[in-house]
Amino acid sequence: MATKAGAIPDELSECVLACIQAVEHVVENGGLVVDVGGEIFDEYRKGLSMRGQPGQGDVFMKWLHDHQWMDTLVDRVDITPTGDSYVEFPDHAELSDFDISDRKFVAVAKAHRDAPPILQATDSKWWGFKDALHSVGVSVTFLCPEYVRAKYEQKMDG
């Protein structure tokens, strides 16, 4: 979400559009799920501005900042840290190497009563875990599936 607009290659224009549409959908309709402790908020804040500019990601960050306590738009769930993971993170052999910094997103999806999907734009690491996540009830919606798959396969072949 933090990619600068001028740094986006032309071949990713459809991906960028999909991401913008996803952000606009959340901003207009709500449905975002975050953790009570603010770990996801802090993760987003690392690369985005709460001024709401210059990019779409910054618009989202400002929206989240301004609406994070509005229960009709943002749902908050408790997750329980344990070491460098969370109690809610699935105990699954194929997830043992899952990125520690991304575990909060999985823990939130598992802890939420509706098991909402995780939207993933371009982080190809998630592609390699999608089947294991699915097997434990976590759905990942790839906004740029062709790009992510190709990037993942390139990393695995290289």
Query: With b meaning 16 or more CB within 10 Å and e meaning fewer, what string describes 102-133?
Result: bbbbbbbbbbbeeebebbbbbebebbbbbebb
The whole model's pTM is what? 0.89
Instruction: Give the tens place of pLDDT for each residue, 119-141.
Output: 999 999 999 999 999 999 999 99
Residue 89 in contact with residue 103, Cβ under 8 Å? yes
Point out which residues pair with 74 in neighbouring strands. Answer: 32
Residues 135 and 46: their CA atoms lie apart, in Å, by: 31
**Mean pLDDT calculated for residue range 63-67:** 92
Question: What pLDDT score does 2 carry?
Answer: 45
Question: What pLDDT score does 100 carry?
Answer: 96
Whether omega before 116 lies within 30 degrees of 0, making that bond cis, reads no
Residues 7 and 16: their CA atoms lie apart, in Å, by: 12
**Mean pLDDT calculated for residue range 74-88:** 97
| DSSP structure string for 98-138 | S-GGGHHHHHHHHHSTT-PPEEESS-GGGGGGHHHHHHTT-
∠ Cα 90 37 77 (to 5°): 55
Instruction: Give the tens place of pLDDT for each residue, 20-62.
Output: 999 999 989 999 999 999 999 999 888 887 777 778 888 889 9
Closest C-alpha among 101, 106, 114 to residue 79: 106
